[in-house]
Amino acid sequence: MSISIEKQKLIEEIGLRLEPILRLAPLAARIYALLTVSSYEGLTFEEIREIIGSSKSSTSVNLNVLTQLKLIDYYTKSGDRKRYFRIAKYFQLSALEAQFESLENEIKLVEKITDYNKVHYPEKFLNEESVGDITKNYLRNMQELVAITIKKINERDASKV
């Protein structure tokens, strides 16, 4: 199975971006990227291995890691022993919910730092808005955008039931 040069470049670009974000090995990031730009029907082990150009053992290990992280899942077709790998349907929703919680924790930490500095270094707050307050507002705005996105995904899924 061959893919276009355009798709190869896109897989590489997505993979490079996802490595640090998802803390993935380069091969796992490329496999995830490949599945991201493939049909929701998914790809077989052999198709993934052939497109990515990796060994059987490396492909297997990285597919297992991605499955354990719940970034991808697989299914089988009746009468077919092959597994078809695809992006996990609700990974994006889970990632957004985790991001919302992370932002909440960061807001609480910034509030603690700001409160501490107000008591111990009040001169920082006499004539200007503190960096902590500016940061807290930024984080709250980000959290609001994440919440809106989560709501839209949930509403979309509810309308399909």
Q: Is the Cβ–Cβ distance between 89 and 125 less than 8 Å?
A: no
pTM over 0.85: no
- Averaged in consecutive runs of 10 residues, what is the pLDDT profile of the chain (161 residues)? 90 93 93 92 96 96 95 93 90 83 94 87 74 91 96 85 62
Cα gap 100→146, rounded to integer Å: 6
pLDDT at 115: 86
Residue 114 sits at the vertex; the CA angle it makes with 110 and 118, to the nearest 5 degrees, is 175
- For residue 77, what are its two tokens? 């077709």
Residue spans of the domains in the chain: they are: 5-87, 91-159
CATH-assigned architecture of domain 5-87: Orthogonal Bundle (1.10)
